Amino acid sequence: MNVLMVYPEFPDTFWSFKHALPFQGKRSAYPPLGLLTISSLLPQRWQKRLVDLNVRRLRDSDLDWADLVFLSGMLVQSPSMKAQIARCKARGLRTVVGGPIASAKGPALRDPPFGQPTKSVETW
């Protein structure tokens, strides 16, 4: 099983620190710690790949490689997440959404492609 973990892009706002990060020699202010934690819980025989959209773009070759796509993020990342889910769905890839955006169950999750959150957290 090839699992692609995608961390959505933060919008270009004050809180993204997009223009300040180069002064520190950094490319991202918020590492995808949730996805990395979930990665450690997956079976070792599964192949895993992480793409942080704040660092680089998601390539078609990444999606071609994947059997399953995990996404995690905050509400502010919902536009980027929706775009990536739509891209995955267009290819017939299954997606799993977690993190604060899934826990919030706010308005951003009511419209497709999110659907209604389930209690899948209990599985872990």
The pLDDT, as a whole number, for residue 119 is: 43
Mapping DSSP to helix (H, G, I), strand (E, B) and coil, where does residue 49 land? Answer: strand
Sheet holding 47-52, edge to edge: 47-52, 2-7, 68-72, 94-98
The pLDDT, as a whole number, for residue 42 is: 95
Domain total for the chain? 1
> What is the value of pTM for the model shown?
0.82
**Domain span at 74:** 2-123
The mean pLDDT value of the chain amounts to: 84
The pLDDT, as a whole number, for residue 17 is: 78
Q: For 1-16, write each residue's pLDDT tens digit.
A: 999 999 999 998 777 7
